[in-house]
């Protein structure tokens, strides 16, 4: 068996994290939000570690610590004990209870347990949001959106009409969330952005440490979401069953605008067009200037980017937006992959990839053995995705532009800015510079092999005789 075939059979490098891990992030993006993972200690430890490495923050996540006894007789006692402990230590306003493979397999009814707990303890100032997130039920992306939907469904109340716009964001970086808020503020738009972990998962250094990070979407604002002018959901690929915006539309009639993450000129324009349609507010001159600078950057770098052949992987929503950016800039994707089913990704990509000069392989439910194999055979020379793709560099020498979740082998995952016209410009520069770095690393050798090697049919010269411009050295 070949090395690659063996690698594929082992399948030890999935392209996604597990479902409850994705559910932790939105709960951390609600003011006073705390999490209990209903399952074994190992699950919560694994999740804490990944999230902590990405955000460089302490990630407090409770566990019901299910053991053999709880597995056989049920974990209700453990869960209620965990809720008691969390209340005592953190005094949260909201607790998200996320199930694991084990809890779901033994059939734990967390909705009943949560309701009973509040009655038994006579608590009225705490919201518990149970979410069914078995690890085998989906990826972190599905866990993320399902949890946002459950938070909204649990809190939203009939509310008189007001002037705010609901903005639902996917799993983007705290820097990206801050950028979206900056743009909305510049436009004078009133909004409720949910979930907002821009401060809670990227805390400034303060003299006094508080167990609960300040920030997050206010519970009062989430309760009032049914009265909003409309919902803008950055979730073009997600299925209706995971969509908080779809819930607000179905239950409260809030108009829903589903748009891609504003990465790439087309996606940014779509985002701002939706805002204008809802609020009547046009792009301010300062943002128009940022758009002009992005166009200028695209012109400046196209002479390098045309040589890019990319593999794009990660959460479907991000993959979709980055594919658009790459197609706009000539870094045509050869492979587009996601670890989960990908929702509407394949359907949305279909018309886009038709513009590409070479065939594009779209790989839902993929892993890194398949991504590696397909990237290698398609002659990919740049990878764009999260840190797990570092194997493409190690094994295939394909350089990696890090974006998405998790970025755990570099610092600054929480500060990677990629949205809006300015964020797109920065991301485009990262892509172009990665291609340039690769080109200059192998430039002389490539020129020698192409023009000077004896069996190439070109002039005969040694590698050292080729100067840095790739010209034959006459001296
Ligand atoms: S996949 Fe299942 S067992 Fe593994 S960490 Fe996730 S919830 Fe726990």
Position 442 scores a pLDDT of 79
**Crossing angle of helices 41-55 and 19-28, rounded to 10°:** 60
Name the residue with the closest Cα to ligand 1, atom 6: 135
Residues 462 and 453: their CA atoms lie apart, in Å, by: 8
Instruction: Indicate the range of 4-8, 42-46, 95-99, 459-463 predicted with least confidence.
Output: 4-8
Position 454 scores a pLDDT of 63
- Residues having CB closer than 6 A to ligand 1 are 18, 20, 39, 43, 46, 100-101, 135
Tell me which of 16, 17, 20 to substitute to probe ligand 1's pocket, judged by most ligand atoms within 8 Å of the beta carbon.
20
Contact predicate 77/17, CB 8 Å: no
pLDDT of residue 2 exceeding 80, the answer is no
Residues 387 and 391: their CA atoms lie apart, in Å, by: 9
How much distance in Å is there from the Cα of 385 to the middle of ligand 1? Answer: 23
Q: Which atom of ligand 1 is nearest to the CA of 101?
A: 2
Position 455 scores a pLDDT of 60
Q: Name the CATH superfamily, with its identifier, for domain 19-155.
A: Nitrogenase molybdenum iron protein domain (3.40.50.1980)
Q: Which residue has tokens 């600078």?
A: 293
Position 354 scores a pLDDT of 87
Instruction: Indicate the range of 149-163, 276-290, 372-386, 437-451 predicted with least confidence.
Output: 437-451
How much distance in Å is there from the Cα of 140 to the middle of ligand 1? Answer: 11
Residues 400 and 388: their CA atoms lie apart, in Å, by: 10
Q: Which atom of ligand 1 is nearest to the CA of 40?
A: 8
Tell me the three state secondary structure of residue 373: helix
Tell me the three state secondary structure of residue 208: coil
pLDDT of residue 292 exceeding 90, the answer is yes
- In this structure, what are the phi and psi dihedrals at residue 228, rounded to the nearest 5 degrees? -70, 160
Percent of the chain with pLDDT over 70: 93
Tell me which of 16, 43, 46 to substitute to probe ligand 1's pocket, judged by most ligand atoms within 8 Å of the beta carbon.
43
pLDDT of residue 161 exceeding 60, the answer is yes
141-154 residue pLDDT tens: 999 999 999 999 99
pLDDT of residue 466 exceeding 90, the answer is no
How much distance in Å is there from the Cα of 353 to the middle of ligand 1? Answer: 35
Tell me which of 24, 38, 39 to substitute to probe ligand 1's pocket, judged by most ligand atoms within 8 Å of the beta carbon.
39
β-pair partners for 226: none
Q: Which residues contact 323 (CB under 8 A, 6 or more apart)?
A: 312, 333, 336, 349, 352, 353
How much distance in Å is there from the Cα of 135 to the middle of ligand 1? Answer: 5
Name the residue with the closest Cα to ligand 1, atom 3: 101
How much distance in Å is there from the Cα of 231 to the middle of ligand 1? Answer: 33
pLDDT of residue 343 exceeding 80, the answer is yes
**Crossing angle of helices 420-447 and 174-186, rounded to 10°:** 130
The verdict on whether omega for the bond into residue 147 sits within 30 degrees of 0, i.e. cis, is: no
CATH no. of 165-283: 3.40.50.1980
- Cα dihedral sign, 276-245-15-379: negative
Q: What does the longest C-alpha to C-alpha distance in the chain come to?
A: 91
How much distance in Å is there from the Cα of 126 to the middle of ligand 1? Answer: 27
pLDDT of residue 472 exceeding 50, the answer is no
Residues 95 and 56: their CA atoms lie apart, in Å, by: 23
| Ranges in the chain annotated CATH 3.40.50.1980 | 19-155, 165-283, 286-442
Tell me which of 12, 14, 18 to substitute to probe ligand 1's pocket, judged by most ligand atoms within 8 Å of the beta carbon.
18
Position 467 scores a pLDDT of 46
417-440 residue pLDDT tens: 999 999 999 999 999 999 999 988
Q: Which atom of ligand 1 is nearest to the CA of 100?
A: 7
pLDDT of residue 240 exceeding 80, the answer is yes
Percent of the chain with pLDDT over 90: 86
Position 459 scores a pLDDT of 53
Instruction: Indicate the range of 85-89, 112-116, 442-446, 464-468 predicted with least confidence.
Output: 464-468
Contact predicate 472/459, CB 8 Å: yes
Helices and strands: H and E segment counts in the chain: 18, 13
pLDDT of residue 456 exceeding 80, the answer is no
**Average per-residue pLDDT for the chain:** 92
Contact predicate 101/47, CB 8 Å: no
User: Is residue 100 exposed (0-12), middle (13-18) or buried (19+ Cβ within 10 Å)?
Assistant: buried
* Fold (CATH) for 286-442: Rossmann fold (3.40.50)
Q: Which atom of ligand 1 is nearest to the CA of 37?
A: 7
């Amino acid at each position: 068996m070949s090395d690659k075939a063996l690698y594929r059979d082992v399948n030890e490098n999935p392209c996604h994290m597990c479902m409850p891990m994705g559910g932790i992030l939105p709960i951390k993006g609600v003011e006073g939000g705390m999490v209990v993972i209903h399952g074994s200690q190992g699950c919560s430890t694994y999740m804490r570690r990944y999230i902590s490495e990405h955000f460089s923050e302490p990630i407090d996540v409770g566990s019901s610590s299910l053991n053999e006894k709880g597995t056989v007789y049920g974990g209700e006692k453990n869960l209620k004990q965990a809720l008691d402990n969390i209340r005592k230590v953190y005094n949260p306003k909201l607790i998200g209870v996320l199930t694991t493979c084990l809890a779901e397999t033994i059939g734990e009814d967390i909705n009943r347990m949560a309701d009973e707990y509040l009655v038994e303890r006579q608590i009225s100032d705490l919201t518990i949001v149970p979410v069914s997130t078995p690890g085998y039920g989906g990826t972190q992306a599905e866990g993320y959106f399902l949890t946002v939907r459950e938070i909204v469904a649990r809190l939203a109340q009939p509310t008189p009409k007001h002037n705010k716009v609901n903005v639902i964001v996917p799993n983007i970086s705290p820097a990206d969330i801050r950028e979206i808020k900056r743009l909305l503020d510049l436009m004078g738009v009133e909004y409720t952005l949910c979930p907002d972990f821009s401060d809670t998962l990227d805390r400034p250094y303060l003299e006094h440490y508080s167990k609960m990070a300040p920030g997050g979407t206010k519970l009062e604002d989430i309760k009032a979401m049914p009265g909003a002018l409309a919902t803008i959901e950055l979730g073009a690929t997600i299925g209706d069953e995971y969509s908080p915006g779809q819930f607000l539309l179905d239950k409260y009639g809030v108009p829903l605008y589903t748009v891609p993450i504003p990465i790439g000129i087309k996606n940014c324009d779509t985002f701002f067009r939706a805002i204008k349609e809802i609020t009547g507010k046009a792009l301010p001159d300062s943002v128009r200037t940022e758009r002009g600078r992005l166009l200028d950057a695209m012109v400046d770098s196209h002479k390098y980017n045309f040589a890019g052949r990319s593999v794009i992987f990660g959460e479907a929503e991000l993959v979709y937006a980055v594919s658009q950016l790459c197609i706009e800039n000539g870094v045509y994707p050869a492979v587009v992959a996601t670890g989960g089913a990908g929702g509407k990704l394949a359907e949305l990509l279909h018309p886009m990839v038709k513009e590409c000069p070479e065939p594009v392989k779209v790989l839902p439910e993929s892993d890194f053995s398949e991504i590696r194999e397909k990237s290698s055979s398609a002659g990919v020379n740049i990878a764009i995705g999260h840190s797990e793709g570092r194997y493409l560099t190690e094994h295939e020498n394909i350089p990696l532009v890090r974006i998405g979740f998790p970025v755990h082998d570099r610092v600054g995952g929480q500060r990677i800015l990629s949205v809006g016209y300015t964020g797109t410009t920065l991301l485009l520069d990262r892509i172009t510079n990665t291609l340039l770095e690769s080109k200059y690393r192998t430039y002389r050798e490539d020129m020698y092999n192409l023009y000077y090697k004896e069996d190439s049919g070109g002039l005969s010269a040694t590698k050292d005789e080729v100067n840095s411009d790739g010209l034959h050295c006459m001296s």
